[in-house]
Structure 1
Amino acid sequence: MREYSTALEVQVPVGNLTDDVVRNGEERPDAVAFSRPVDDAWQDVTAAEFLAQVRGVAKGLVAAGVTAGDRVVLLSRTRYEWTLLDYAIWFAGAVTVPVYETSSDEQVGWILRDSGAVAAVVESPEHRSRVSRLRGDLPRLHHLWSIDGDAVGVLRTLGEDVPDDDLEARRTTAGPDDLATLIYTSGTTGRPKGCRLTHGNFLHELTVAVSELDALFDPAPGEGDDEAGTADRAASTLLFLPLAHVFARVIQVGCVRAGVRLGHSADIKHLVDDLGAFRPSFVLAVPRVFEKVFNTASQRAVADGRGGIFDRAAETAIAWSRAQDGGRVPLALRLRHRLFDRLVYGRLREALGGRCAYAVSGGAPLGERLGHFYRGIGVTVLEGYGLTETTAALTVNTPDAQKIGTVGRPLPGASVRVADDGELLFRGGQVFAGYWQSEDPGSQGSEGSEGAPEPVVDEHGWFHTGDIGEIDDEGFVRITGRKKEILVTAGGKNVSPTVLEDLVRAHPLVDQCLVVGDGRPFIGALVTLDEETLPGWAEQHDKTSRVADLLDDADLLADLQRGVDTANEAVSRAESIRAFRVLPDTWTEEGGQLTPSLKLRRAVVTREHGDDIDALYRR
């Protein structure tokens, strides 16, 4: 099938994103909208309290001279104040420009200049100092506040004299076609470009996504729940991905729209404890998080002498999930699954808080094996697909229509087409309004948000994603590679590196993998080791855990070779990895090798490790 469309059967509201906060505060004032960590406990914030706080901060922005359409930069980790400030900026009629708190000074300066921001709210004194050093080149930046410096309190005090009617007039200024946010892409080369996402883009995305994922976003407790159990049974989620990324941002706004209790966790080191205390009913993460959870559990089981039990439990979970697709689960498999549910699966669910039934994954392919594993342990991972330019999801698997290994069907109102060269094209109300400083949404730039060739909207309204994929006869979309990243070996074989990289990275000892071979006689790979799982392996094999001393270790290389062999089973011999090289250092966002969404900056890694790549072909 070359094209598939899903009919739009829900009505997209007219207005802007602030309407949800007002409606919740007035119609459900006592409903718990947020829980925020205060003094080692979760403190509830009602819808009425949130509305009052947003109005107070928004009045401060108005009093400071922020006008309708002005851009306000927000640079912070994921925390309650991020969401509060985001809505306050919208209440003031302004435009939020999110910046990753890990961004370099050069990136921060570029975004502040390019967006023409008149104000910035940063998180810490260190962030404030960094922006202050840049202000000489930022003549339009008039205000700088710090969250840790009580930005919320300062702004509420500043706006005490702003009349309610003036704020309401400002709040209702924006309509569906007006800009809500500028999200700068994290492309792998060149300067990032600002994606212009309107209130209408978000309203369309939220309306169809919340409707399709009603099992996640239904805020009401189940039938028969008593009052005491309501809070624990109602829908909730804990955000720990960066809110500067469109994926987390859409979930934030979706929770506010649906009245789902929302929490924030800024420190990944405390994530397990936060999940246990918050007890979300669903979570969202990128595939690398799901890989790490699985690999860590596997290595801990090995260290405790229970590696064999875990392996059998994992295979049982995968087999049970696959049998579910077939419609019949054999009795012996059901009994094994029930046994391992008591011995293994329950503990894994507890690591997610104990009541998490669903997870949403995006940003990269999850892989069929992990998809079946998580469904088999009782946590259904719903994969979707989208870009910054499409206000997050264009397609998604739903609780009622899931096909593991795909990214689901187009959301209602969206259409997908496969071009002659295999590129995926989309149309829908969530497709962006164009790039900042450009009147043409189809204009070319240096690079798109996902490291693929610059996405464009053609004369027929089709958005060119830069990704290669296919559509099955039921409308489910499968991503098979990135157009720009296709490798062509010296023998003329076209190879998609991401398929192999995802499979190799599933090995417990592997942190990252770069598949190479463009213009070379065969496919090779560079591998970095997982610093969390390596010590357990080293102890089990009575070896040092210093990476530099293990690069040529025969046992380690044999273990990694088994992972490579497993990955090669998914491709033809001409596409298989013939040689790999273990590197002494890891690739990180701070080092510039990964994007903030943990994607590999392929050009950067290839440039930095040219000698290592050449060494693969001197063997």
Structure 2
Amino acid sequence: MTTVSAAATPAGTTLLDIWQVLAEKFADYTALRDPHAQPVFEISYGQLFRRIQILAAGLQALGIRPGDRVAIFADNSPRWLMADLATLFTGAVNVPRSAVADPAELGYILRHSGSTALIAQDAKTLSRVRPVVQELGLERLLLLSDEEEPGVLNFSQWLQKGRERRYEPPRLERSQLATIIYTSGTSGRPKGVMLSHGNLMHQVENLHVVVQPRPGDKVLTILPTWHSYERACEYFLLSQACTLVYTNPRFIKQDFQQEQPHYLVAVPRIWETVYEGIQRQFKEKSPLMQRLIRTLMAASEGYVLAGRIAGNRSILHYGVSPWVRLGARLQQGLLWPVHRLADALIYRKVRQALGPNFQQAISGGGSLPAYLDLFYEVVGISILNGYGLTETSPVLCARRPDNNVRGTAGPPLPGTEFRIVDPETRQPLPPGEKGLILARGPQVMMGYYNNPEATAKVLSPDGWFETGDLGWLTPDGQLVITGRAKDVIVLLNGENVEPQPLEDACLQSPYISQIVIVGQDQKKLAALIYPNLDVLKAWAAEQGIPAAEAELLGHPQVRTLILQEVRARIQERPGYRPHEQIADFRFLPEPLSVENGLMTQTLKIKRNPVAERYAHLIQEMYPTGS
């Protein structure tokens, strides 16, 4: 079977070169499949590259030239990928954003980027930015739908225009600007991250050290394609002649069985949702079976944790003596029969839910909580966690199948360097000491578009990028992320607290769905919590507490339960310190979501907007003089 070796690409290779090879060697392989389209959509590599060329010719016919900025306001679909590559293959600079982003944000991006053309998902998306389009006098307007709009080319008309003109491949250089991705961020106005063709190619050429797919392997795609994480992964997986299968939260469970994928690229929240679904199934078993599951899970956790220590794969046990490792190996051996029994009775069924071909799960776009890492290792599902930012194209490091050290984000990709420095003095710190993470490599951005001041704050003249994240390096070079520097809460007594690890610990409680810890410049920490209402109502029924939501959340026993859960989970954390305890909490009136503007598209909580919207709840927990 022929393979494409991204790592062996000649110097100067661009995505256009990669696709020319794909269209020739894998012409009949399925590139994209959308089983939920009506009718089902499927297209081969040969057909897809030809269609991309036609669309690129259509853009050239409209006068799009190398360097022109073309905005793409649309979400995950085969046509998004076609529009993305068509713009890149004209030498234009595309500016992608979600179709459901706030109209004011989309308008800002259109103005700030200087886009001279707009590709919108549909007429509704176009109508949301029509005032700005008219203000800027944009005349080159295209749709990814087939709706008829005066003065606008729909997708079919765009294809027809391209068929009437011969495609002229541009001379692309890796140093050329390819895309400007505006960071959604967790606060503040978005900045335009400039990524070159070389930045994008670094990912295509080096992600093979993380996963080694074969031509024809299926990959479920569920994340926003305009986001750098999903986009880089798709570029790489397509370069390896994989088949991308489009799914969504509604169909993902069904698609695991029907599409039988080999891989899934996802964010921690998706793995958390899968975990919660499995836990719900466990709770539907008989009381006896539930006790058996808990007993076997506890034994398996002991088996896995002993194996980590024995194999020097525990970030909490680096440097322990050979005798400690030997003791761990003996413990692992004693627990092995119990773990094998649990696998036969429980874990095998969990894995079967992902289909018979599933090999690895890829997680990024946020911190993977330790309890999820442990659970998936116990049940035998390999999650390869990675780390990066939009500004780094995005992957800086990732765990490997043969070196999957849980709790870390893995070693750096080829050509990538890390440096841990003191946040105040900027002096380098040795392995094992926590500080600010700096990164350098071919994937680091060109800078922020039209924002030299912001660029200078994070990018040094010798190429070191300040990530804004805190972490440390293990003795063998694995990166451990501990939190965001700007998220650190400084208490009134001067103690610094990283909220993310505490929140991850609290999320292990079945009664807590979401939590945001607060307490800047206060004596003690507090929390905003959205409960798992289904589990809480079941508990309340057992206690004889009224199940109506308003009465339930105000009941003293419920408040006591939640506070006990939070405090117990935090106290169980390794390295627990008393000032990390939660003094009080308030229930949130609704879940945090992308739709209400309190989460990013990759499902990370926007702390500042949460604090602003619920300032009255925070004030209740910190009355004047407390």
The alpha-carbon distance between structure 1 residues 284 and 484, as it changes in their structure 2 partners (threshold 3 A), is: same
Of 86, 89, 109, the residue aligned with 2:87 is 89
Aligned-pair distance for 1:424? Answer: 0.6
Of 101, 121, 136, the residue aligned with 2:134 is 136
Of 263, 277, 280, the residue aligned with 2:261 is 280
The alpha-carbon distance between structure 1 residues 60 and 539, as it changes in their structure 2 partners (threshold 3 A), is: farther
Whole-Å separation in 2 of the counterparts to 1:555 and 1:115? 54
- Secondary structure of 1:81's counterpart equals helix
Of 5, 24, 27, the residue aligned with 2:25 is 27
Do residues 590 (structure 1) and 592 (structure 2) align? no
Aligned to 1:413: 415
Do residues 292 (structure 1) and 290 (structure 2) align? no
Whole-Å separation in 1 of the counterparts to 2:374 and 2:12? 40
Whole-Å separation in 2 of the counterparts to 1:489 and 1:297? 38
Aligned to 2:306: 323
The alpha-carbon distance between structure 1 residues 583 and 192, as it changes in their structure 2 partners (threshold 3 A), is: same
Whole-Å separation in 2 of the counterparts to 1:333 and 1:409? 30
Of 62, 65, 68, the residue aligned with 1:67 is 65
Q: TM-score, normalised on structure 1?
A: 0.87
Aligned-pair distance for 1:546? Answer: 4.6
The alpha-carbon distance between structure 1 residues 54 and 565, as it changes in their structure 2 partners (threshold 3 A), is: same
Cα deviations by residue, 1:523-559 (Å, 9 ceiling, x for unpaired): 1111112356556556666656554332233453344
User: What RMSD in Å do the two structures reach over aligned CA positions?
Assistant: 2.5
Aligned-pair distance for 1:435? Answer: 0.7
> Any conservation in 1 of the 2:566–2:582 contact (CA below 8 Å)?
no
Alignment of 1:139-150 (within 5 A): 139-149=137-147
Whole-Å separation in 2 of the counterparts to 1:536 and 1:77? 37
What amino acid does structure 2 have at the position aligned with 1:245? H
> Any conservation in 2 of the 1:183–1:195 contact (CA below 8 Å)?
yes
What amino acid does structure 2 have at the position aligned with 1:311? R
The alpha-carbon distance between structure 1 residues 539 and 61, as it changes in their structure 2 partners (threshold 3 A), is: farther
Aligned to 1:435: 448
> Any conservation in 2 of the 1:423–1:483 contact (CA below 8 Å)?
yes
Instruction: Return 5+ residue gaps in structure 2 as ranges.
Output: 1-6, 149-153, 312-328, 424-434
Do residues 154 (structure 1) and 153 (structure 2) align? no
Whole-Å separation in 2 of the counterparts to 1:41 and 1:545? 44
How many residue pairs align between the two structures?
A: 579
Aligned to 2:323: none
Whole-Å separation in 1 of the counterparts to 2:367 and 2:454? 27
- Secondary structure of 1:53's counterpart equals helix
- Secondary structure of 1:466's counterpart equals strand
Higher relative CO (Cα under 8 Å, sequence separation at least 6) belongs to: 1
Cα deviations by residue, 1:20-72 (Å, 9 ceiling, x for unpaired): 22111112212222222266786542211111111122121111222212222
Do residues 169 (structure 1) and 169 (structure 2) align? yes
What amino acid does structure 2 have at the position aligned with 1:433? M
Aligned-pair distance for 1:492? Answer: 1.7
Of 394, 397, 417, the residue aligned with 2:396 is 394
Of 572, 597, 606, the residue aligned with 2:611 is 606
The alpha-carbon distance between structure 1 residues 310 and 119, as it changes in their structure 2 partners (threshold 3 A), is: farther
Whole-Å separation in 1 of the counterparts to 2:269 and 2:202? 29
Aligned-pair distance for 1:193? Answer: 0.9
Of 195, 212, 219, the residue aligned with 1:217 is 212
> Any conservation in 2 of the 1:318–1:369 contact (CA below 8 Å)?
no
The alpha-carbon distance between structure 1 residues 486 and 55, as it changes in their structure 2 partners (threshold 3 A), is: same
> Any conservation in 2 of the 1:83–1:252 contact (CA below 8 Å)?
no
> Any conservation in 2 of the 1:415–1:428 contact (CA below 8 Å)?
yes
Q: TM-score, normalised on structure 2?
A: 0.86
Whole-Å separation in 2 of the counterparts to 1:532 and 1:59? 54
Do residues 271 (structure 1) and 266 (structure 2) align? no
What amino acid does structure 1 have at the position aligned with 2:354? L
What amino acid does structure 2 have at the position aligned with 1:464? E
What amino acid does structure 2 have at the position aligned with 1:324? G
What amino acid does structure 1 have at the position aligned with 2:233? I
What amino acid does structure 1 have at the position aligned with 2:609? V
Of 193, 204, 207, the residue aligned with 1:206 is 204
What amino acid does structure 1 have at the position aligned with 2:442? G
Alignment of 1:442-481 (within 5 A): 442-444=455-457, 456-481=458-483
Identity across matched positions, percent: 30
Do residues 569 (structure 1) and 572 (structure 2) align? yes
Alignment of 1:115-130 (within 5 A): 115-130=113-128
Whole-Å separation in 2 of the counterparts to 1:113 and 1:23? 37
Cα deviations by residue, 1:412-441 (Å, 9 ceiling, x for unpaired): 111101112221111000000001114578
- Secondary structure of 2:397's counterpart equals strand
Whole-Å separation in 2 of the counterparts to 1:44 and 1:431? 35
> Any conservation in 1 of the 2:300–2:335 contact (CA below 8 Å)?
no
What amino acid does structure 2 have at the position aligned with 1:75? F
- Secondary structure of 1:579's counterpart equals strand
Aligned-pair distance for 1:572? Answer: 0.6
> Any conservation in 2 of the 1:237–1:281 contact (CA below 8 Å)?
yes
Tell which deviates more after alignment, 567-576 or 21-30. 567-576
What amino acid does structure 2 have at the position aligned with 1:577? I
Whole-Å separation in 1 of the counterparts to 2:95 and 2:469? 26
Cα deviations by residue, 1:585-615 (Å, 9 ceiling, x for unpaired): 2222222221222222211111222222232
Tell which deviates more after alignment, 291-300 or 278-287. 291-300
The alpha-carbon distance between structure 1 residues 39 and 403, as it changes in their structure 2 partners (threshold 3 A), is: closer
The alpha-carbon distance between structure 1 residues 406 and 400, as it changes in their structure 2 partners (threshold 3 A), is: same
Whole-Å separation in 2 of the counterparts to 1:174 and 1:545? 63
Aligned to 2:236: 254
Whole-Å separation in 2 of the counterparts to 1:581 and 1:36? 43
Whole-Å separation in 2 of the counterparts to 1:308 and 1:112? 57
Whole-Å separation in 2 of the counterparts to 1:17 and 1:584? 47
The alpha-carbon distance between structure 1 residues 74 and 314, as it changes in their structure 2 partners (threshold 3 A), is: farther
